[in-house]
C-alpha cells in the first residue's frame, strides 16, 4: 500500500522573503491551503512606507532635489493654466505656498500621501489580481490570498525602491530609477507622457510581475503560461492608467 504524502506546509515569512529572490516558485509553496496571514502583506507595506518617507526626507533636506520637486510642481501647474483649469494668478499663489512650506509641514503631507498611495496600491492591486483569478483563472481563493500574493511579490519592488534611493543619491536627481527613463534623465519632463512611460518600464516592476504570475499559478492551480498572461495583461492596463492618473514621476 502506497503511503499518502502529507500536504505541504505553508512557507514561513522569512523563507518566503528569501525564496522570492532565490526560488520564486517555492515562495508560494502551500499558499493555497494555508490560512491567510496579515503579516505577509502588512510587513512589506510598512517597509515600503518607510522607504517612501525616507525619499520624502531627501526631497526636503537636499537643496538640489527640493528645487527639482518645486520645478516639477510648477510645470504641472503651468500645464493646468494652459488647459484653462486654473488661472495664472492661482498658479503663482500656489507656487509661493509651496516655496514657503516648511520641512515639517512637507513631511506631514508626505507621510499622509504615502499612506494613502500605498493603501490604494496594495489593496487596489490585490483587487485586480482577485478579479483576474476569479474570472479568468477560475480560482476559488479569497481576496486575502491575493493580498498575500501581492505582498510576497512586493519584496522585489522594495529592493527596487532601495536601488532607486541609491540612484537618486548617486545621480542627484529625483527622476533617477532603474528604468528606461534613464535614457532621457538629463532632459526629463514630468509632464511628458513619453518620459513617464519610459519610467514605468522599470526592471524591478517586470520582475515583480513575473513573481506575481508564479504566485497566481500556485494559488489557482492553473498553468504558468496562463497565470503569467493574466499578470502581464493587468500590468499593461496599470501602466497607462498610472500615467493618466499622475502616479508615475
Tell me the per-residue pLDDT of 109-146, one tens digit each, with 9 for 90 and over.
888 999 998 998 899 999 999 999 999 999 988 999 99
Q: How sure is the predictor about 7, in pLDDT bands with cuts at 50, 70 and 90?
A: very low
> What b/e readout covers 52-72, taking b as 16+ CB neighbours within 10 angstroms?
beebbeebbebeebbebbeeb
Across the chain, how many H-helices and E-strands are there?
A: 10, 0
Instruction: Give the least confident one: 87-96, 141-150, 165-174, 224-233.
Output: 87-96
- Partnered with residue 179 across adjacent β-strands are 202
Residue 9 has pLDDT above 50, yes or no: no
List, in order, residues 6 or more apart from 136 with CB less than 8 Å away: 226, 230
Residue 5 has pLDDT above 50, yes or no: no
pLDDT of residue 91: 85
Q: Using 50, 70 and 90 to split pLDDT, how confident is the model at 249?
A: low
Mean pLDDT within 216-245: 91
pLDDT digits (tens, 9 = 90+) for 34-79: 888 999 999 999 999 999 999 999 988 999 999 998 888 888 888 8
What's the pLDDT at 99?
Answer: 80
Closest among 73, 108, 103, 87 to 191, alpha carbons compared? 73
Q: In 23-173, which ranges are continuous DSSP H helix? A: 24-27, 39-61, 63-82, 88-100, 103-135, 143-171
- Is 19 exposed, middle or buried, given 0-12, 13-18 or 19+ CB atoms closer than 10 A? buried
In the prediction, which pLDDT does 247 show? 63
CA distance from start to end of the chain: 62
Report the C-alpha gap between 165 and 181 in whole angstroms: 15
pLDDT reported for residue 36: 85
* C-alpha cell of residue 189: 519632463
Residue 152 has pLDDT above 90, yes or no: yes
Average pLDDT of 218-228? 95
Amino acid at each position: 500500500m502506497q503511503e499518502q504524502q502529507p500536504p505541504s506546509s505553508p512557507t514561513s515569512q522569512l523563507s518566503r522573503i528569501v525564496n522570492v529572490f532565490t526560488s520564486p516558485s517555492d515562495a508560494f509553496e502551500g499558499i493555497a491551503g494555508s490560512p491567510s496571514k496579515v503579516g505577509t502583506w502588512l510587513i512589506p507595506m510598512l517597509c515600503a512606507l518607510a522607504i517612501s518617507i525616507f525619499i520624502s526626507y531627501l526631497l526636503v533636506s537636499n537643496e538640489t532635489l527640493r528645487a527639482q520637486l518645486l520645478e516639477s510642481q510648477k510645470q504641472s501647474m503651468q500645464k493646468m493654466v494652459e488647459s484653462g483649469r486654473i488661472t495664472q494668478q492661482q498658479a503663482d499663489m500656489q507656487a509661493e505656498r509651496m516655496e514657503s512650506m516648511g520641512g515639517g509641514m512637507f513631511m506631514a503631507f508626505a507621510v499622509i500621501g504615502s499612506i494613502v498611495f500605498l493603501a490604494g496600491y496594495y489593496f487596489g492591486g490585490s483587487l485586480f489580481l482577485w478579479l483576474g483569478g476569479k474570472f479568468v483563472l477560475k480560482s476559488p481563493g479569497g481576496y486575502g490570498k491575493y493580498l498575500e500574493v501581492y505582498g510576497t511579490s512586493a519584496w522585489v519592488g522594495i529592493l527596487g525602491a532601495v536601488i532607486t534611493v541609491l540612484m537618486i543619491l548617486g545621480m542627484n536627481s529625483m527622476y533617477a530609477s532603474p528604468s528606461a527613463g534613464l535614457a532621457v534623465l538629463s532632459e526629463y519632463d514630468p509632464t511628458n507622457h513619453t518620459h513617464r512611460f519610459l519610467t514605468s518600464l522599470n526592471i524591478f516592476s517586470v520582475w515583480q510581475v513575473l513573481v506575481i504570475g508564479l504566485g497566481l499559478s500556485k494559488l489557482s492551480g492553473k498553468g504558468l503560461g496562463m497565470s503569467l498572461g493574466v499578470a502581464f495583461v493587468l500590468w499593461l492596463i496599470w501602466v497607462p492608467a498610472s500615467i493618466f492618473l499622475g502616479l508615475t514621476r
